[in-house]
Amino acid sequence: MMNTVTFDYGNKQITISTGDAKDWKGVRKYFDLEVQGKANPLRTLYEIIDGTTRDKTVTFAGRTFGYEYGFADSKTKRNAVDQAVACLVEQIVAA
């Protein structure tokens, strides 16, 4: 199932969609990301099954997800990415 979020990123509109999740050694599930727009503000999104991470995290309904910024050169843009990831995680958990 494809989960999608569109958000303002500076003066641009960015759409990020998640695809299939790939299991990595039973520790994490990495989601395929498809970005539409001129910038790529989100490098990776994954669910943490076991262990910890130094990347940014968001927890929803008892499930923890980690993510890594791509090109996000200001606090405003990082906040927009944080909100977009929260929306994607909510859709993933609801599915």
Characterize 69-91 residue by residue with b for buried, 16 or more Cβ atoms within 10 angstroms of its Cβ, and e for exposed. beebeeeebeebbeebbeebbeb
Mean pLDDT of 56-71: 96
Q: Residue 53 region, left (φ>0) first, then alpha (ψ -120 to 50), else beta?
A: beta
- Confidence (pLDDT) at 54: 95
Is the per-residue pLDDT at 39 higher than 90? no
Q: Residue ranges of the domains in the chain? A: 3-74
Stated pTM of the model:
0.92
- Confidence (pLDDT) at 1: 60
The mean predicted confidence, pLDDT, of the chain is: 94
Contact present, 80 and 7 (Cβ < 8 Å): yes
- Confidence (pLDDT) at 53: 94
What confidence tens digit (pLDDT) does each residue in 53-63 have? 999 999 999 99
Contact present, 59 and 86 (Cβ < 8 Å): no
